[in-house]
Structure 1
């Protein structure tokens, strides 16, 4: 027991940088922000001015709806745009007091919609004028009230209309909609928000499987705005995974979105499925590697596959993924795919499963019209997996493992075929960029140290992931290289065994070159600039280096993927890649 506790206490020296992202839902505040400004908790100066000019201050001591009608109907010199703004202001305050909030919010949205979209409206100011800005803020505040009060699966008193692609967006699987402004996040350095028209919200549900979205939990960024057109009134939902703008009477206006709220809720859902230690102790939850998407497959974007490391989870990429989603240029051209795998089995077992998962999603991506190109980023042990995706082993790994040639192992035809798939693989095609972060290409002595020996007690037998190794050890022990026979007989190697510098399979893999046409980068952690040879404190400099890769040395320990300098370097790499790509045929709105 003491040994186990000791392992847990100091395991952060070895694991791939566990991260925690929290998301707590709550009530949305009374106002809504636009360009950092919120609707005030009192009537605007414009509204007081209108009440004075129309001499109805005394009449407006009554309830908000009657006062708003008086503002619209009382004769006087106040122009229509200003009346609409004052009436909306009164209705918004009334809705906040809880007296007929839906009807008051709906009337408010109607008035502000006319201010923002009606042609030739008398008295309307320019887009930068304070009154026009107030109209935008009031419109969004009243729309947010409707989103809060009218369930998305109801049609009264206003219907919801989903302007989403049914082939890409899991509309039928949405279980609830929450306001992004009511989501409180933890563990993220920045909040990626586009202020603008409409309400930033999150659609939450469980995808049951569709051509462009595999079965998984989801929390997707959406925009909800009040719309009045020839078909009537509605709360119109659009996919907010990319930056969008629309035409108004004030000119082109951004649609509001909050990618951080959606990402934080997604990360919390993923972490419920598999947390870092679950990746070691829960084989029943992770029999095979999978990929988790933050949005349905988008054929117009390049998949950016992020592979976490030992005893970690997709949440390890929290701050990098959050910044990619919030950067208009990157979010418009890249789509994050998060590797999710059980980190106990040996590297080749996870490489086999990860390659199959990538292949399945890439086929869907290409069938939807997407370019087959991929970018892979791996941290720690995930970097080794990333490298194995872009190498052709020939016979090197087979010969390092087996004493007999393919076809002569003496096992069942099924196991023979599986062994050849695992050890005689081909590189995943169309990966054009690979980035290694604090990656132990040459292994790490930590994999043979005291902590690693204690952690081995927490790692479930890899035979539960692929029974192949134990079956070969039991049925055909002479087919295994003598140096590996004891490990195979004990149930096969686990991931720590295969990270040892003395493991013959790891040494053979170290000598495999990356296939031509792949640009490789090594982001190398240096914990002590005076002694760079120590590397990140877990993986020495020599082990992190890869021949031919472009190097970026970053001050930091083995949790390097979370460093701001690492995030900045990754963004530069992705932007530089875009600069080399042919331009897209047309703008995306």
Structure 2
């Protein structure tokens, strides 16, 4: 038998190995975890700073790799743009992500966006724009595809960075320009309907909303869609002596358009049209003959405003009379809209608009309510007597309504909803009540006053003791309001705090004039009457609060109560919220009453907010003007005649 040589044995082994290999499968299979599945489907340059699986597969088709693109980016993008074997959707979506990745690398090098980085973001936005509107399928045909969602994110983020780069250059451009060359592009002057108050349409600051996070707000309300979301910050309004304050923190949605009638024209253009949209006024935008949902963030402007307001410190200083607010202000939460119903909110003692943090956010976050209502907040000094605040707030509201709607015929000026918490609830109830002559009994009588002296006294006191309901208000909600006062105001601590309160000098002077009028010309000077402050007024033994609690509410007003039951061991009638007894906050004849297991700040509870939203829907439905987000923007009917 012939012995095999080592070479022969090697050949046999190689042949056997080849035969075995040909009998084995070349494709393996394994299960992946849900986390790996999500990463494979959704990871991209924005979420993980690595290219998406779709883009990597597209590079493989044209014999490119991630490393090839990193080593020679111009060659990589040129190959993608002109190689056969790719349809337009794969080509354009991959180019958008690659340019975005390149821009992120460039912009990481400094705070000021360079021309090179700005060009990268514009290239990314243009390829995404071309993918969305100039390929053979419409966006609606790809509605369930992950890739379209990714490309929309590429576009929105690229727009955010590009618009930020434009805004950095804006001070150098002035106002007298139509278009200007920037980073190799021809940028046209923005068209905008974003109003910042005081006739201003140019922000002083532009904050990307996507990167903002807030503490103290339960929810962030935004709308997914096309465009990049910003907070536009205007100049701090000058103190003109007027009681109203228009918003200077407003939402803005930026959109970049690349003109052209075909894909080739869009990819060839160097023109960029920027639009700044007010998402309160528009919920869609017309592009390529299609109605496209417009992205929006409704919480971010409100959150930035509150975070920068300093209300917490101001409210304490104001309560003690040591600076801060000295007269009521009407703060508009959105630019005035004559075709939206108005909700007016009044905070309580030692408080501020911060009392409504989540209430306002939840109302503005509700699609139907946002389309139907606008919110005003009354910010007022809480140290002065209730009667004085009542008169000054009424004057401020009347002046504000007349300023924005001199004829009084707008939807915004009629069927107003008034919402008050704690002392704000007491004031709100008096704003819809009739005093008649019932409050004159709180004025101590002085013997020997002549008829002329009595007349002068009545003239002095009439603004505070004689009033009629606001005719514009047809619904009110009172939350934890001490309509009949509270024994807490008589506690030692409350009296001590009340002793620290300083009343405004103008009020003290008015008090002296009233005291003089009470004494009369022919009466020997007596001890000047002490003016009560707000804490005095909230006592259940205070003459003013006892007399005003009996005043009738206008029959034209539907009203509701929300009460806290922090301490409730027996019947509801024996409960309280830790500050206000149920017997004081309850009102007979209310359309509804909700008791919430809560401390005095019941307005912040989810149950109270849900109830407020229900009441606002009931109110709008009764007027046949509840509008949906995508429904017609038909205004409410003309003002109804009041009973």
TM-score (norm 1): 0.84
Say whether residues 1:227 and 2:257 are aligned partners: yes
Q: Aligned ranges for residues 269-288 of structure 1 at < 5 Å?
A: 269-272=308-311, 275-282=314-321, 284-288=323-327
Q: In structure 2, how many angstroms separate the alpha carbons of the residues matched to 1:123 and 1:528?
A: 56
Distance in 2 (CA, whole Å) between partners of 1:317 and 1:194 is 22
1:39 deviation in Å? 4.2
**Alignment match of 1:147 (pick from 149, 163, 170):** 163
Find out whether 1:318 has 2:357 as its counterpart. yes
SS where residue 511 of structure 2 aligns? helix
User: Residue in 1 aligned with 2:79?
Assistant: 70
Match of 2:145 in 1: 129
Query: How many residues are treated as equivalent by the alignment?
Result: 545
Structure 2 residue corresponding to 1:117, chosen from 133, 138, 159? 133
1:541 maps to which residue?
A: 582
Which has the larger Rg? 2
Cα shift at 1:554: 0.9
Asked if the contact 2:425/2:479 (under 8 Å) is kept, the reply is yes
Corresponding residue number in structure 2 for 1:257: 296
What SS does structure 2 have at the residue aligned with 1:439?
Answer: coil
Q: Do the aligned partners of 2:196 and 2:247 also contact (CA within 8 Å) in 1?
A: no
Three-state SS of the structure 2 residue aligned to 1:161 is strand
Aligned 8 A contact 1:279 1:312 in 2: no
Which of 174, 179, 192 is the matching residue for 2:208?
179
Tell me whether 1:81 sits opposite 2:89 in the alignment. Answer: yes
- Say which SS state the counterpart of residue 614 (structure 2) adopts: helix
Distance 1:446 1:460, change over 3 A: same
More displaced, 232-241 or 537-546? 232-241
1:379 aligns with 2:424: no
| Partner of residue 8, structure 1 | none
Distance 2:120 2:298 in 1: 29
Report the counterpart of residue 484 of structure 2 in structure 1: 442
Segments of structure 1 that go 5 or more residues without pairing to the other structure are 1-33, 480-484
Structure 1 residue aligned with 2:54, among 42, 46, 65? 46
Cα pair 1:105 1:145 within 8 Å, conserved: yes
1:170-221 deviation per Cα after TM superposition (whole angstroms, max 9, x unaligned):
53462111011222211111111222211111011224599x9944662111
- Residue 337 and residue 562 in structure 1: after superposition, are their counterparts in 2 closer, same or farther (change >3 A)? same
CA deviation string 1:483-540 (max 9, x = no partner):
xx97x623x1101111122122211101101011101101011113323313112111
Give the 3 Å change call, closer, same or farther, for CA 85–37 of structure 1 in structure 2: closer
Q: 1:587 aligned to 604, 611, 632, which one?
A: 632
1:447–1:499: 8 Å Cα contact kept in structure 2?
yes
Counterpart among 191, 195, 207 of residue 220 in structure 2: 191
Going from structure 1 to structure 2, the CA distance change for 1:173 and 1:503 (only over 3 Å counts) comes to: farther
Encode CA deviations 1:454-482: one digit per residue, 9 max, x unaligned. 11133212554463223211453369xxx
Does the 8 Å contact 1:63/1:94 carry over to 2? no
Aligned residues of 1:343 and 1:495 also touching (Cα < 8 A): yes
| Inter-partner Cα distance in structure 2 for 1:256 and 1:37 | 21
Change (3 A) 1:178 1:476: same
Equivalent residue, structure 2, for 1:489: 529
Pairing 1:11-22 to 2, within 5 Å after superposition = none
1:370 maps to what in 2? 411
| C-alpha distance in structure 2 between counterparts of 1:282 and 1:216, whole Å | 26
Q: 1:456 aligns with which of 498, 501, 505?
A: 498
- CA offset digits 1:344-386 (Å, max 9, x no partner): 0000111111111111222244348434221111000000000
CA distance in structure 1 between the aligned counterparts of 2:215 and 2:340, rounded to whole angstroms: 28
- Looking at structure 2, the residues matched to 282 and 114 of structure 1 have their Cα atoms a distance apart, in angstroms, of 61
Indicate the SS of the match to 1:311: coil
State the Cα distance separating 1:94 from its structure 2 match. Answer: 0.6
The CA deviation at 1:261 is 1.3
> Residues 208 and 240 from structure 1, CA distance in 2 versus in 1: closer, same or farther, beyond 3 angstroms?
farther
1:457 and 1:123 map into 2 onto residues whose CA distance is 67
Larger RCO of the pair (alpha carbons < 8 Å, separation 6+): 1
1:71-114 residue CA offsets vs partner (Å, 9 max, x unmatched) = 112x3121122211110100000111126321100111111112
Asked whether the 8 Å contact 1:208–1:214 carries over to 2, the reply is: no
Aligned-partner SS, 2:319: helix
